[in-house]
């Protein structure tokens, strides 16, 4: 049996709380190598949650690969206006390093259920539960605030600084 590190303050509360999260100005970007994506950037708290999810998946023998993670706002804008994205948001959490997509259709129903359950234990939102603008079953994110624009505006210069030193 796997043990997931639940980073929430109240394991019985399955809603995404925002009170105990760092404000956008106090969040930190980290560089990360992700299978299927390559080098990218994530919010440090989200990266820790993905580490736990990946450890669970590895323990269960579920292959770990990603379709996407961080997206610069220009790419997000293109996906939104070109109609090529599944449910492209104007201010996506991908652009704040707080979202990643897994290839859920490649997993068995049992694997999908295990991944979603583990992600929710880690207090990640699953796009399969989204109502508007529509479901996105590959999408997982951490939403510390509804102010996505501030998250993006804080994250973008951090990514630029990290790129300078790589």
For 9-39, write each residue's pLDDT tens digit. 343 333 343 444 677 778 999 999 999 999 9
Domains of the chain: total: 1
Angle between the N-to-C axes of helices 44-59 and 109-121, in degrees from 0 to 180, rounded to the nearest 10: 140
Q: How far is CA 14 from CA 20, 51, 113, 144, in A?
A: 14, 20, 16, 14
Q: Residue 9: inside a domain, yes or no?
A: no
Q: Residue 10: inside a domain, yes or no?
A: no
Count of Cβ atoms closer than 10 Å to residue 6 Cβ: 13
**Bond preceding residue 133 cis, omega within 30 of 0:** yes
Residue 68 pLDDT: 94
Count of Cβ atoms closer than 10 Å to residue 121 Cβ: 20
**CATH number of 123's domain:** 3.30.1380.10
Q: Residue 128: inside a domain, yes or no?
A: yes
Residue 112 CA to residue 102 CA, distance in Å, equals 10
Q: Residue 124: inside a domain, yes or no?
A: yes
Residue 80 pLDDT: 81
Q: Residue 18: inside a domain, yes or no?
A: no
Residue 1 pLDDT: 43
Distance in Å from the first CA to the final CA of the chain: 39
Q: Residue 109: inside a domain, yes or no?
A: yes
Contact status, residue 119 vs residue 53, Cβ threshold 8 Å: yes
- Domain region containing 129: 26-164
pLDDT in tens, 81-105: 887 766 667 888 999 999 999 999 9
pLDDT in tens, 103-112: 999 999 999 9
Highest mean pLDDT among 2-6, 7-11, 91-95, 122-126: 122-126
Q: Residue 83: inside a domain, yes or no?
A: yes
In this structure, what token pair is assigned to residue 82? 């070109």
Q: Which residues of 62-91 are buried (b: 16+ CB within 10 A; e: fewer)?
A: bebebebbbbebeebbebbeeeebeebbeb
Percent above pLDDT 90 for the chain = 63
Q: Residue 41: inside a domain, yes or no?
A: yes
């Amino acid at each position: 049996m796997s043990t997931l590190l639940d980073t929430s303050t109240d394991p019985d509360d399955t809603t995404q709380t925002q009170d105990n999260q760092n404000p956008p100005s106090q969040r930190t970007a980290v560089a990360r190598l992700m299978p299927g994506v390559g080098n990218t950037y994530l919010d440090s708290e989200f990266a820790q949650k993905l580490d736990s999810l990946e450890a669970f998946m590895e323990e269960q023998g579920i292959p770990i690969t990603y379709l996407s993670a961080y997206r610069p706002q220009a790419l997000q804008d293109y996906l939104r206006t070109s109609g090529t994205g599944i449910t492209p948001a104007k201010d996506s959490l991908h652009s704040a390093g707080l979202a990643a997509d897994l290839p859920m259709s490649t997993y068995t129903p049992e694997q999908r259920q295990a991944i979603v359950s583990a992600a929710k234990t880690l207090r990640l939102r699953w796009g399969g539960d989204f109502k508007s603008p529509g479901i996105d079953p590959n999408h997982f994110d951490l939403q510390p605030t509804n102010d996505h624009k501030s998250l993006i505006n804080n994250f973008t210069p951090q990514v630029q600084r990290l790129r300078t030193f790589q």
